[in-house]
Amino acid sequence: MTKRPTIRDVAALAGVSVATVSRVLSGDYPVAGATRTRVQRAVRELDYVVNAHARALSGTTSKVVALVVREVVSPFYARIAAGVEEQATEAHRLCLVCTTHGDPDRELEVIKLMREQQADAVILVGGVVENADYRERMYRYAQGLEDAGTRLVLCGRPSLGPDFPAISVEYDNAGGAFAATSQLLSGGHRRIAMLAGEPGLTTSDERIDGYRRAMAAFGAPIDPALIRHGWMSHEEGRRHVRELLAGRTAFTAIFAANDQMAAGALMELRAAGLRCPEDVSIIGYDDSPFAQDLWPALNSVHVPLDELGRTAVRLALAKSTGAPSRQQVMLGTHVVIRNSVRPATR
């Protein structure tokens, strides 16, 4: 491994000064055509590439966008990540990905790392449990990042208020839940089971909220026994239905807070000899890719995940163009109609 060439090597070979080399490299500076050609040849000859760290150190931005998610293997996060990555690439930024596994300590550590990297933006993705010190913690993060010249973006997670020093990009979570529940209700369903996440998890809580509002709007009574909490997984979806069935709690439809749970519910229903949508209607949330591959294809609330990611990056990088560092935008959601819902017969 020979030592990698530096800008001085290029300068020497091209017979110019390092400043000149730097100029032709960055492109935005008048340099004589002949000189430029000479430098470019030298660059190619030496197979030279700039040292990003040296460049970042001497002033210019680091050209890095950081994405902080709970898990990498999750269609939900993955689609946001894809949006972030695309937009970052478009803006000539590199994309750092970190996971927290929902651990606040890990989150803290990750944010610190991002400050060290002087990332242009840190995008925090997905729902959280808003416990006691969450707000305060976020506030400290925002502070520290701002000092490092880094924009903080909350993506798919409720804004902490207009005064909070961060950008927030949300989607109409409760609205989607309202629409989904309404679809069931207008089909005549009244006993609608709601499969939700852990209490306190923002994503889930907002979905429950939409469910409640729709029920109220249609004058349908809310039976607490129909609202089920747990880990938002396929397995848990099965468990909820199993217990509902065992407890002889009547229901003609299910609204699941995500598609995994809906798929689990579907499977357990089938195992119990119940058909969907003939006996029970189901509607999920997130419009995961596999929703249309199920049988019956699953109605679900579509969330513009990649748009969420793209918007997060766009807003964060608008810094240069003088956009405010604290703002909130909300993207719409809508129900995708497939084959898992049918009017109530009982």
Partner DNA sequence: CTGTTAGCGCTTTCAA
Partner DNA sequence: TTGAAAGCGCTAACAG
The residue type at 38:
R
Closer CB to DNA, 24 or 69, in the complex: 24
- Collapsing DSSP states into helix, strand and coil, what is residue 194? strand
Residue 319 backbone dihedrals phi, psi, to 5 degrees: -40, -55
Find which of its own copies, DNA, none residue 213 binds, CB within 5 to 8 Å per kind: none
Distance separating alpha carbons of residues 87 and 315, to the nearest angstrom: 11
Which is closer to its own copies, CB of 5 or CB of 187?
Answer: 5
Q: Which of residues 43-102 bind its own copies (CB under 8 A)?
A: 47, 49-57, 62, 71-75, 78-79, 81-82, 85-86, 89, 94-99
Long-range contact pairs involving 102-106 (C-beta distance under 8 Å, separation at least 24): 102/70, 102/128, 102/129, 104/134, 104/137
Tell me the site size for its own copies, rule CB under 8 A: 57
> Of 100 and 181, which has the nearer Cβ to its own copies?
100
For binding to DNA (CB under 7 A), which residues are involved?
Answer: 3-4, 6-8, 15-20, 22-23, 25-26, 29-32, 34-36, 48, 50-51, 54-55, 57-60
Q: State the nearest-atom distance from the C-beta of 108 to DNA, in Å.
A: 19
Name which of 210 and 304 has its Cβ closer to its own copies.
304
CA distance 42 to 38: 6
The answer to whether 2 contacts its own copies (rule: CB under 8 A) is yes
Relative to beta strand 227-228, strand 327-331 is unpaired
Closer residue to its own copies (CB): 210 or 237: 237
Given the complex with DNA, which of 30 and 247 has the nearer CB atom? 30
Contact positions with its own copies (CB under 8 A) in 117-176: 117-118, 143-144, 146-149
Query: Which residue in 174, 177, 182 sits closest to 220, CA to CA?
Result: 182
- The single residue listed with the structure tokens 């349908």 is 220
* Angle in degrees, CA 166, 171, 172, rounded to 5: 125
- Rounded to whole angstroms, how far apart are CA atoms 346 and 50? 71
The minimum distance between CB 116 and DNA, in angstroms, equals 8
Dist CA 195 CA 193 (whole Å): 6
- From the CB of 143, what's the least distance to its own copies, in Å? 8
Tokens (6 digits) for 147: 């000092």
Contact positions vs its own copies (CB under 8 A): 1-2, 4, 47, 49-57, 62, 71-75, 78-79, 81-82, 85-86, 89, 94-99, 112-113, 115-118, 143-144, 146-149, 234, 260, 263-264, 266-267, 270, 289-290, 292-295
